[in-house]
């Protein structure tokens, strides 16, 4: 997709840069890729493809390391194939080349270091949070995952750990977000098209560079009300899958953490249309986080239930935008008919 479709959102996100006009959101790696292009004359699309391929190679290698010695292989497969988590990349290719792959990799490395009892300096965490934010500002809305891992897996008093989370994680992130939105310019400048042409790239479509920051997202939600409401089905099924996983392993996910994380996500779901993307990041990070918790040997009954969950989750999918829950066409049609039956009945009553 990166190589064959020179444009759009997947490729366009990676080539946002500072050289074609100045400091802007998401421009860190694009700046690096432009520099490599100027130094080597390698085409931009191949540079981006090689980088994303490297990220995925390392990510899957480390995921194997994370799950390699698991006692309950079926439950591990349940999480890996979950359509709202890592399993989404098998069902919607549009999600596969997005920048959150870097979030997953950085968080996975962090979790593996914590599991190995490696001491990670607070300033190192700050540095990589800044890297993530300069890659894509959506990383800000998932900070509770980093804070929760820090709080649960490090020694020290709860008060001291909370202070360090606020000082080394939250405060620098707020400062970076302020700088991005106060001083960052538009993603597309008057020089963008000519700049890319001078670097051997003619975009087939502008994609992200044509995005209107003043786009009325509320009207979009209203015009696709049913489609966005179906994300609730996918989120519910994802939550049910994690409940089964946690119940069988006798693992508890901290309720306070979940509340804080959900509150962080509310503005993101309000401002940005890609609900499938934001949901996918949440469940993928949750998969990495919960993977280092205790594992129990499954009973035969639990193995059967896990197998049924795998088969059921293979039957449905969630897409990047507007299509929140899709299953075989007949059931999709039935859901729509039931929804609109009640929707128009309630509307007429009101």
8 within 8 A of 179, measured Cβ to Cβ? no
Query: How many domains, the chain?
Result: 1
Does a structural domain hold residue 325? yes
Burial class (CB in 10 A: 0-12, 13-18, 19+), 39: exposed
Does a structural domain hold residue 55? yes
List Cα–Cα distances, 106 to 112, 143, 148, 238, 342, in angstroms. 10, 12, 15, 23, 45
Residues 6+ apart with CB under 8 A from 241: 78, 79, 82, 309, 313
The pTM assigned to this predicted structure is: 0.93
Q: What local confidence, expressed as pLDDT, does residue 6 receive?
A: 58
| Sign of the four-CA dihedral 169, 175, 178, 179 | negative
Q: First and final CA of the chain: distance in angstroms? A: 47
Q: What local confidence, expressed as pLDDT, does residue 172 receive?
A: 97
Does a structural domain hold residue 277? yes
Q: What local confidence, expressed as pLDDT, does residue 210 receive?
A: 84
Q: What local confidence, expressed as pLDDT, does residue 280 receive?
A: 96
Does a structural domain hold residue 223? yes
Does a structural domain hold residue 1? no
Which stretches in the chain have pLDDT values below 50? 2-3
Burial class (CB in 10 A: 0-12, 13-18, 19+), 74: middle
Does a structural domain hold residue 255? yes
14 within 8 A of 101, measured Cβ to Cβ? no
**Containing domain of residue 120, as a range?**
8-349
Neighbours of 288 (CB within 10 A): 25
Q: How far apart are CA 9 and CA 6, in angstroms?
A: 10
What is the average pLDDT score of the chain?
A: 89
Q: What local confidence, expressed as pLDDT, does residue 8 receive?
A: 67
178 within 8 A of 132, measured Cβ to Cβ? no
Q: What local confidence, expressed as pLDDT, does residue 70 receive?
A: 65
Does a structural domain hold residue 3? no
Q: What local confidence, expressed as pLDDT, does residue 295 receive?
A: 82
Does a structural domain hold residue 204? yes
């Amino acid at each position: 997709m990166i190589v064959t479709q020179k444009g759009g959102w997947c490729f366009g996100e990676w080539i946002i840069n500072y050289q074609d006009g100045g400091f802007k959101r998401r421009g860190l790696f694009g700046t690096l890729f432009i520099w490599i292009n100027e130094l080597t004359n390698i085409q931009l699309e191949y540079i981006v493809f090689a980088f994303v391929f490297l990220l995925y190679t390392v990510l899957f290698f480390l995921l194997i390391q994370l799950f390699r010695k698991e006692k309950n292989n079926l439950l591990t497969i349940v999480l890996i194939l979950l359509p709202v988590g890592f399993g989404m990349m098998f069902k919607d290719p549009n999600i596969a080349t997005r920048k959150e792959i870097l979030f997953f990799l950085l968080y996975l490395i962090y979790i593996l270091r914590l599991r190995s009892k490696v001491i990670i300096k607070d300033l190192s965490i700050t540095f990589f949070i800044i890297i993530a934010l300069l890659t894509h500002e959506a990383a800000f809305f998932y900070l509770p995952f980093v804070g929760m891992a820090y709080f649960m897996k490090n020694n020290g008093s709860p008060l001291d750990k909370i202070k360090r989370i606020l000082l080394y994680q939250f405060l620098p992130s707020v400062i970076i977000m302020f700088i991005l939105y106060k001083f960052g310019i538009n993603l597309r400048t008057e020089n963008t098209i000519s700049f890319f042409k001078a670097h051997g790239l003619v975009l087939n479509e502008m994609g992200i560079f044509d995005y209107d920051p003043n786009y009325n997202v509320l009207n979009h939600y209203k015009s696709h009300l049913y489609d966005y409401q179906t994300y609730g089905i996918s989120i519910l099924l994802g939550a049910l899958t994690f409940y089964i996983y946690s119940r069988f392993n006798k693992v508890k996910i901290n309720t306070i953490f979940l509340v804080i994380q959900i509150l962080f996500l509310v503005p993101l779901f309000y401002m940005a249309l890609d609900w499938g993307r934001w949901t996918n990041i949440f469940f993928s990070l949750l998969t990495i986080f919960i993977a280092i918790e205790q594992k129990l040997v499954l009973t035969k009954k639990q193995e059967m239930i896990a197998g049924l969950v795998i088969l059921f989750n293979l039957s449905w999918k969630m897409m990047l935008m507007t299509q929140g829950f899709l299953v075989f066409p007949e059931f999709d049609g039935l859901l729509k008919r039931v929804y609109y039956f009640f929707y128009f009945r309630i509307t007429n009553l009101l």
